[in-house]
Amino acid sequence: MTTLKEVLYEKIEAHRPRVTRLLKEHGNDVIDKVTVGQVLGGMRGIKSLVTDISYLDPMEGIRYRGLTLPEVFEKLPKPQGKEMPYVEGLYYLLLTGEVPTESQVADVIYDFSNRRLLPRYVFDIIDAFPNHSHPMAILSAAVMAMERESLFNTRYQQGMSKMDYWDPTYEDATNLLAKLPLIGAYIYDKLYLGKQNVYPDPTLDFGGNFAYMIDKDEPYDDVARMYFIIHADHESGNVSAHTGHLVASSLSDAYYATSGMINGLAGPLHGLANQEVLSWIQSVRAKMGNKKPTKEEMKKFVWDTLNSGQVIPGYGHAVLRKTDPRYQIQREFALKHMADDELFEYVSILYEVVPPILKEQGKAKNPWPNVDAQSGVIQWHYGVTQYDFYTVLFAIGRAFGVLSNVIWDRALGYPIERPKSITTAMMEEMVGIK
Ligand code: CMX
C-alpha cells in the first residue's frame, strides 16, 4: 500500500510546476487592489495568501479540499458504530486532497500511535507552571520546549536541498500532531483532576484516546472527533493560521510555528471566544438565580453587554456572512444528544435573540453565530466544565490545518513573508491629504 507520505510526495511533484508557471508567466498580473480602509482595517479581504487546503466562502462557509463540512463528515471513514470520522482521516484529506480508504486511515492511525510518546521533560515543564496559569500558555510552552526534537532543524544545520524541506517538516508535523492529545490531556488531568500521570490507550484512535485520557465516557469520543475536525482549518488569513504560516516562512520549524499559532488563538476575539461564551452564559444564569431567562430578559442581557462596550462572544465574523456551518453541525449534534440541556436552551434562545439585536445596533457586519457560540455548552454537557480549557481543544484541532499548510509551504518553496509598511504621512500624501 502507498503510504500517506508517498501519496503526498506525488501530489507535491504534480503541483510544483503550477506554481512555477504562475510565477514565470503571470508574476506581474494584477489580482487585487488595496484600499486605505483595508490597510487600516486589519487587511480584511486582501487576496494575498494561497492555500489549497481549505477555502472560506462568506455565504457557504468552509470547504476542506473542496468538500463542505457535511460532506467531510459523510465521506471520511468512521470507527465502527461511531457517528464521527477518524481525525487521522482528516489529516490524509487535508494533506492530499483525497478521501482515504479504511486501510489508508488504519495506516495513519498506526503511524500516529508510534509517534505518541512524550519526552519526560515535557511533563516536567507542565508541572513547573504556577497555579492559575492559563492552559493555552502551558500548551504553547510545552510545544515550544519540544523544538529541540525538530528534524527539520537538524537536517537544515547539516545542509539540505530546498526541494527536501517538506520531508523533515512532514516528520516534525506528524510527530507533533500525534503528541498533542497527550499534552492536552496531561494539562487537563493535572489542572483539573489532580492527576500526576496520563496513559494513552494504544488501541484507540486520536479522538477516542483523547476522551480516554481525560476520563470521559462515550459519546465524548465522538464529541472530540467532531470538535477536532470542525476546528482544523478556516483558510489562511485568520490569526492562528496566518501566524503559523508567517512564523514558518522564516524557516522556523513546525514547533515554533505551532507555538506561535497557539499564542494567536488564545485571544478573546479568536479562539478564546468559546471560553468567553460559556462564562457570559454562566454570568447570565447567576444573575437569574439559575432560572431560565425569558426572551425579553435575554434581550436585556445582550443589550447591557453591548452598552457596556463589550462584544457578544460567539457572534460575528471577519469573513462569514451567515450562520457558521461549524455552529450548525454542533447544533444538530446537540439537538440529537442533549436537546434538554439547560445551557443548550440558553444557546438556542441566544440564536433567536442576538442576530436581530446586532442588526439593530448596526455595527457588526455579520450578526450570525460563529463556531464558538455552540462549542462550550457541548463540552460542559459532557463534563468538561473547566471552560478555560476549551481553547486548548480548538488548538489541537487547528494544528492539523496549520501544519498541513506549513508542509505544503515548504514543498512549494514559498518565501519568507515580508509585506511593506508605510507611515501615516505617506498614506495621507498618497490620498491627497495635505
Ligand atoms: N458583538 C458586538 N459587536 C461586534 C460583534 C459582536 N459579536 N462583532 C463585531 N462587532 C463590532 C466590532 O467590534 C466593530 O466595532 P467597532 O466599529 O466599534 O470597532 C464592528 O462591529 C465591525 O466589526 P466587523 O467588521 O463586523 O467584525 P471584524 O471583522 O472587525 O471582527 C470578530 C470579527 C470575530 C473579531 C468580531 O465579530 C467579534 O469580536 N466577535 C465576538 C468575538 C468572537 O466570537 N470571536 C470568535 C470568532 C471566531 C473565531 O475566530 O474563533
Query: Which CATH number characterizes residue 353's domain?
Result: 1.10.230.10
pLDDT for the residue 233: 98
The answer as to whether 196 is a domain residue is yes
The answer as to whether 338 is a domain residue is yes
The residue with cell 505551532 is 258
Q: Which residue minimizes the CA distance to atom 36 of ligand 1?
A: 316
Distance CA 356, CA 302 (A): 11
Q: 316: Cβ below 6 Å to ligand 1?
A: yes
Q: 372: Cβ below 6 Å to ligand 1?
A: yes
Q: How far is the CA of 42 from the centre of ligand 1 (A)?
A: 12
pLDDT for the residue 292: 87
Distance CA 359, CA 254 (A): 41
63: three-class secondary structure by DSSP? strand
Q: Please name the amino acid found at residue 404.
A: S
User: Same domain for 159 and 224?
Assistant: yes
Q: Which residue minimizes the CA distance to atom 32 of ligand 1?
A: 317
The answer as to whether 277 is a domain residue is yes
Q: How far is the CA of 234 from the centre of ligand 1 (A)?
A: 17
Q: Which atom of ligand 1 is nearest to the CA of 271?
A: 51
Q: How far is the CA of 311 from the centre of ligand 1 (A)?
A: 7
Q: Which three cell numbers stand for residue 29?
A: 498580473
Assess contact for 188 and 125: CB atoms under 8 A: no
If one residue of 347, 351, 363, 391 were mutated to test the ligand 1 pocket, choosing by the most ligand atoms within 8 A of its CB, it would be: 363
Assess contact for 171 and 151: CB atoms under 8 A: yes
CB atoms within 10 A of CB 125: 17
The answer as to whether 157 is a domain residue is yes
Q: 273: Cβ below 6 Å to ligand 1?
A: yes
Q: Which residue minimizes the CA distance to atom 16 of ligand 1?
A: 363
User: Same domain for 153 and 235?
Assistant: yes
User: Same domain for 113 and 249?
Assistant: yes
pTM: 0.97
User: Same domain for 114 and 253?
Assistant: yes
pLDDT for the residue 288: 85
The answer as to whether 95 is a domain residue is no
Supply the range of the domain harboring residue 370: 273-381
Distance CA 333, CA 196 (A): 33
Q: Which residue minimizes the CA distance to atom 21 of ligand 1?
A: 364
Question: Which whole-number Å values give the CA distances from 315 to 102, 194, 282, 369, 387, in the listed order?
Answer: 37, 34, 17, 4, 18
Q: Which atom of ligand 1 is nearest to the CA of 239?
A: 50
pLDDT for the residue 2: 77
Q: 376: Cβ below 6 Å to ligand 1?
A: no
User: Same domain for 157 and 300?
Assistant: no
User: Same domain for 171 and 284?
Assistant: no
> What are the residues whose beta carbons fall under 8 Å from the beta carbon of 372, sequence distance 6 or more?
271, 273, 274, 276, 277, 313, 314
Q: 326: Cβ below 6 Å to ligand 1?
A: no
| Residues found in the chain | 434
The residue with cell 488564545 is 266
Q: 315: Cβ below 6 Å to ligand 1?
A: yes
Q: Which residue minimizes the CA distance to atom 40 of ligand 1?
A: 316
Q: Which three cell numbers stand for residue 86?
A: 477518524
Q: How far is the CA of 312 from the centre of ligand 1 (A)?
A: 8
Q: 21: Cβ below 6 Å to ligand 1?
A: no
User: Same domain for 193 and 246?
Assistant: yes
Q: 365: Cβ below 6 Å to ligand 1?
A: yes
291: three-class secondary structure by DSSP? coil
Question: Which whole-number Å values give the CA distances from 216 to 189, 220, 397, in the listed order?
Answer: 11, 6, 18
Q: How far is the CA of 357 from the centre of ligand 1 (A)?
A: 14
Residues of the chain with pLDDT below 70 are 1
Q: Which residue minimizes the CA distance to atom 35 of ligand 1?
A: 269
Which uninterrupted H or E stretch holds 262? helix 254-265
Q: Which residue minimizes the CA distance to atom 47 of ligand 1?
A: 270
User: Same domain for 255 and 303?
Assistant: no
The answer as to whether 292 is a domain residue is yes
Q: 82: Cβ below 6 Å to ligand 1?
A: no
Q: Which three cell numbers stand for residue 243?
A: 501566524
The residue with cell 498533542 is 180
The separation between CA 194 and the C-alpha centre of its own chain, rounded to angstroms, equals 27
If one residue of 46, 239, 278, 311 were mutated to test the ligand 1 pocket, choosing by the most ligand atoms within 8 A of its CB, it would be: 311
Q: Catalytic site residues? A: 270, 317, 372
Q: For position 128, which CATH number holds?
A: 1.10.580.10
Residue of 127, 106, 146 lying closest to 253 (CA atoms): 146
Report angle CA 111, 167, 258 to the nearest 5 degrees.
75
Assess contact for 69 and 62: CB atoms under 8 A: yes
Q: 94: Cβ below 6 Å to ligand 1?
A: no
For residues 154, 158, 164 and 167, what is the CA-based torsion angle, rounded to 10 degrees?
Answer: -20
Q: 319: Cβ below 6 Å to ligand 1?
A: no
Q: Which three cell numbers stand for residue 6?
A: 508517498
CB atoms within 10 A of CB 307: 9
Provide the 8-state DSSP code for 279: H
142: three-class secondary structure by DSSP? helix
The answer as to whether 122 is a domain residue is yes
If one residue of 365, 372, 391 were mutated to test the ligand 1 pocket, choosing by the most ligand atoms within 8 A of its CB, it would be: 365
Q: 312: Cβ below 6 Å to ligand 1?
A: yes
User: Same domain for 209 and 292?
Assistant: no
> What are the residues whose beta carbons fall under 8 Å from the beta carbon of 241, sequence distance 6 or more?
233, 234, 235, 261, 398, 401, 402, 405
Residue of 159, 161, 121 lying closest to 143 (CA atoms): 121
pLDDT for the residue 157: 97
The answer as to whether 350 is a domain residue is yes
User: Same domain for 265 and 361?
Assistant: no
- b (16+ CB within 10 A) / e for 285-299: beeeeeeebeeebbb
Sheet holding 61-64, edge to edge: 54-57, 61-64, 67-68
Assess contact for 276 and 313: CB atoms under 8 A: yes
- Provide the number of structural domains found in the chain: 2
pLDDT for the residue 38: 98
Provide the 8-state DSSP code for 389: G
Q: Which three cell numbers stand for residue 353?
A: 435573540
> What are the residues whose beta carbons fall under 8 Å from the beta carbon of 150, sequence distance 6 or more?
168, 172, 253, 254, 255
User: Same domain for 110 and 184?
Assistant: yes
User: Same domain for 338 and 191?
Assistant: no
